[in-house]
Amino acid sequence: MLENYVRAGYPAIAITTPEESRALDECRRVAQVLGMNYAIWSFTRGLRLADETDESENIGGFMNTGDPVTALQAGAKLEENTIYCLLDFHFYLRSPDVIRTAKDMFAVQKSRGIVYVFISAVFELPRELEREIILTDLPLPTREDLETLALDVAEAAGIDPPDDCTAVIEAALGLTTAEAENAFALSIVISDTLDARVVAREKEQIIRKSGVLEIYSPDVNMESIGGLSTLKSWLRSRVSAYSPEAQAYGLPAPRGVLLVGVPGCGKSLAAKALAAEWQKPLLRLDTGRLFGSLVGESEANTRRALEVAEAVAPAVLWLDEVEKGLAGVQSSGRTDSGVTARVFGTFLTWMQEKKAPVFVIATANAVEQLPPEFLRKGRFDEIFFVDLPNPEERADIFRVQLQKRNRNPESFDLTALVQNTENFSGSEIEEAVVSGMFIAWNDGKREVATEDIIGGAKAITPMAVGMAGKIESLRSWAKNAARCANGVQGKDTARVSRVIRREVNR
């Protein structure tokens, strides 16, 4: 994109990227292709002309200047048709004299073919220069870029690369060139080869440092979820859309799913299990961490998070309890100068227009707190309502929880357990099993029995009792707005509702 802007005669371009050296290489490449000169300014080294070997020479006494106003004025001393790169200049763009000088120099030097290119990891334009400077990003390295880099690192280390580097390259997707190079080098040091597992572990640390995205290695699968048969069936039917055959057939990559429902009923667990089932990377986006204290930081965090998600694709992007991160959208203009609204708008546009195969799975407990735009068709493939488990599902959850703790479900009276856990959520059933095991352990470390788990369950007051009104409201909303993620609820749902009302009225 940079080359097009330069060809079109834009006088000032800002490249937002943490990869300064790669951005400079791109500027140098464009200069060579277009037969232009190339100059760099930084606070520490001043102004220098640089050829492809990065050698420097003094220019009219400007070599050692660290003054930003003088740096802008130095454009007049450059030869015509020069790409002039200024590094970390965003720090100075709040100064009135810098803003005035920039506007003057852009207007005059455009006729001489001087293109000011500002390169910074973060770049927020002052209002006075919004019409003067065009913003663009430097995309993260592609698969081809990373493969070339991996082969170069292997050659420099004197080792033979694997016959198939696909796993290594996929493990490095989402990293900058410098980060990928370091990860490849670390892999060679540890394993004497390019090892995808080492690169993946290093990527986890790098992505976690961003403070916005976390990469998970799920230790659960669909079999770890009791119940939710409709949801599991739907998710399994969509994974084949990623195959080359499905793409050739014309099937689009799945866009995402929104899970709304009762807390503790498996929504977050479904997100983890999905990534494991599909064998795709799982990225968790903490919407609360998107918001920073500096001007423009929130928007930059959002763009960076989405850029990483697309670079890692195909991947699963998980937004847990999304309503909390989107709280305040409606009043954003009055409370935070519109920051929340802009971040939300950026995310909505990306969800609608994204081409990369990033499957978004969002979970929410309070649908009334979600902006209506978030629920509109086209954002998600489907919206599911996750209800309290019915008797069959409770039995299934007990089986899963007992097997998880190395117990044979056939040794327990599942019918009695189900009857004593009406209104229980999945997490409450798990807690009943754990409590029962503690009862048995403290009673002479004997083997846990059905009566112990029933005793543990009786000590738990189901959350559904206190949330009766909210659960009924969710069910009413879901009748026309969502599919039920559970199996057929039928009479049990009505019975649960009656029991909840009876408990509340006691």
CATH of the domain at 414: 1.10.8.60
Of 357, 386, 415, which one is at a domain's C-terminal end? 386
Instruction: Tell me what pLDDT residue 338 has.
Output: 63
Q: Calculate the CA 449 to chain-centre distance.
A: 43
Predicted confidence band of residue 308 (pLDDT cuts 50, 70, 90): confident
Tens digits of per-residue pLDDT, 310-368? 877 788 999 888 887 776 555 544 455 567 777 788 888 888 888 888 999 999 888 88
Per-residue pLDDT, 502:
46
450 is written with which tokens?
């059905």
Domain annotation covers residue 215? no
Question: Rounded mean pLDDT of 418-440?
Answer: 95
What pLDDT shows up at residue 329? 59
Are residue 35 and residue 68 in the same domain, yes or no? yes
pLDDT at 425 over 60: yes
**Which residue shows structure tokens 């969800």?**
351
366 shares a domain with 243: yes
> Do 111 and 154 share a domain, yes or no?
no
Same domain assignment for residues 289 and 227: yes
User: CA 130, 50, 15: angle at the middle one, nearest 5?
Assistant: 25
How confident is residue 378, by pLDDT bands cut at 50, 70 and 90? confident
Please report, as a single letter, which amino acid is at residue 85: C
99 in the same domain as 49: yes
> Confidence class of residue 301 from pLDDT cuts 50, 70 and 90?
confident
Q: What is the 3-state secondary structure (H, E, C) of 168-198?
A: HHHHHCCCCHHHHHHHHHHHHHHHCCCCHHH
12 with 90, same domain? yes
For residue 38, pLDDT beyond 60: yes
Return the HEC string of 106-161. HHHHHHHCEEEEEEECCCCCCHHHCCCCEEEECCCCCHHHHHHHHHHHHHHHCCCC
Task: State whether 503 and 416 are in the same domain.
Answer: yes
Q: Is-contact 412 289, C-beta < 8 A?
A: no
Residue 377 DSSP symbol: B
Nearest residue to 117 (alpha-carbon basis) of 82, 78, 84, 161: 84
Mind listing the pLDDT tens digit for each residue in 90-104?
A: 889 889 999 999 999
Q: Would you give the end-to-end CA distance of the chain in angstroms? A: 68
Based on the fold, state whether residues 163 and 243 are members of the same structural domain. Answer: no
What would the mean pLDDT of 108-120 be, rounded to a whole number? 93
User: What is the domain-level CATH number for residue 172?
Assistant: 1.10.8
Final residue of a structural domain among 137, 165, 190: 137
Into how many domains does the chain fold?
A: 4
Contacts 24+ apart (CB under 8 A), 49-55: 52/28
Distance from C-alpha of 181 to C-alpha of 439, rounded to nearest angstrom: 54
d(CA 190, CA 198): 8
CA distances (Å), 431 to each of 222, 314, 397, 401, 435, in order?
20, 35, 12, 10, 6
Compute the average pLDDT of residues 241-269.
88
In a domain, 216, yes or no: no
Beta bridge partners of 319: 362
Asked if 235 and 284 sit in the same domain, the reply is: yes
Clarify whether residues 258 and 359 are in a common domain. Answer: yes
Q: Is 366 exposed, middle or buried (0-12, 13-18, 19+ CB in 10 A)?
A: middle
Q: What is the mean pLDDT of residues 468-477?
A: 88
- Is residue 217, in this structure, part of any structural domain at all? no
Return the CATH number at 261: 3.40.50.300
In the predicted model, what is the mean pLDDT of the chain? 84
Residue type, 433: V
Same domain, 398 and 370: no
Among 186-200, 254-268, 336-350, 403-417, which range has the highest average pLDDT? 403-417
Burial level of 205, CB count in 10 A (0-12/13-18/19+)? exposed
| DSSP tag of 79 | P
Question: By the 8 A CB rule, do 129 and 102 touch?
Answer: yes
Write out the residue range of the structural domain in which residue 32 sits. Answer: 2-137
pLDDT recorded at residue 315: 85
Exposure class string for 390-402: b at 16+ Cβ within 10 A, else e: bbbbbbbbbbbbb
Note whether 182 and 251 are same-domain residues: no
Q: Nearest to residue 202, comparing CAs of 161, 171, 178, 157?
A: 171
